[in-house]
Amino acid sequence: MNCPYCDHKNSRVIDTRSSGKRIRRRRECEHCHRRFTTYERVALSNPMVVKRDGRREEFDRDKLAVGIRKACAKRPISMEDLERLIDQIEADVYRLGKAEITSQAIGDLAMNRLRELDELAYILFASVYVPITDLESMKQEVDRLLERRKRD
């Protein structure tokens, strides 16, 4: 960052302090020797979510959480496990490192995690998300789960 006084490019860090997610650096300009402070913050850039109808919106953990909580509402899953699940899905999304991700891809990530945690919650989520609209496709999903269980 350029010196705010003389616009010189280089400064020397004379003190660094970290508090939580913020780092404060005291700097001295190599040219005019005046001192100034800079702050650094972790910035994860949110990917854009491409929805089914082509609209885009910034990825929002809260929206993801609403869908997951709804699917898990009647299941014996602790708040702690639920938060961990949402954290994992969020981390999966960031790990893809894409600027754009389809809402379908996010749903798939969520379903993969849910399936491991609670099979019924998985079905409930899928019923809204896939969406499962008739008994036949519901049965298909359940059969698929039972197949997996046999394999594991």
Binding of residue 29 to Zn ion (CB under 5 A): yes
Locate 69 and state its tokens. 């909580």
User: In this chain, which stretch among 3-11, 56-64, 74-82, 103-111 interacts with Zn ion, using CB under 5 A?
Assistant: 3-11
Locate 59 and state its tokens. 């990825």
Residue type at position 100: E
**Contact (CB, 8 A) for 132 and 138:** yes
Element (H, E) at 110: helix 103-117
Give the nearest distance from C-beta 28 to Zn ion in angstroms.
9
Residues 51-110 that bind Zn ion (CB under 5 A): none
With CB under 5 A as the rule, give the number of residues binding Zn ion.
7
Give the nearest distance from C-beta 36 to Zn ion in angstroms.
8
111 CB neighbour count, 10 Å cutoff: 19
Give the nearest distance from C-beta 41 to Zn ion in angstroms.
24
CB within 8 A of 105, min separation 6: which ones?
Answer: 96
Give the nearest distance from C-beta 23 to Zn ion in angstroms.
21
Element (H, E) at 101: strand 100-102
Residue type at position 88: Q
User: Which of 32, 73, 91, 96 lies at the binding interface for Zn ion (CB under 5 A)?
Assistant: 32
Give the nearest distance from C-beta 2 to Zn ion in angstroms.
8
User: Which of 2, 6, 12, 57 lies at the binding interface for Zn ion (CB under 5 A)?
Assistant: 6
Residue whose CB is less far from Zn ion, 7 or 58: 7
Element (H, E) at 38: strand 35-41
Summarize as ranges the residues that interact with Zn ion (CB under 5 A).
3, 5-6, 8, 29, 31-32
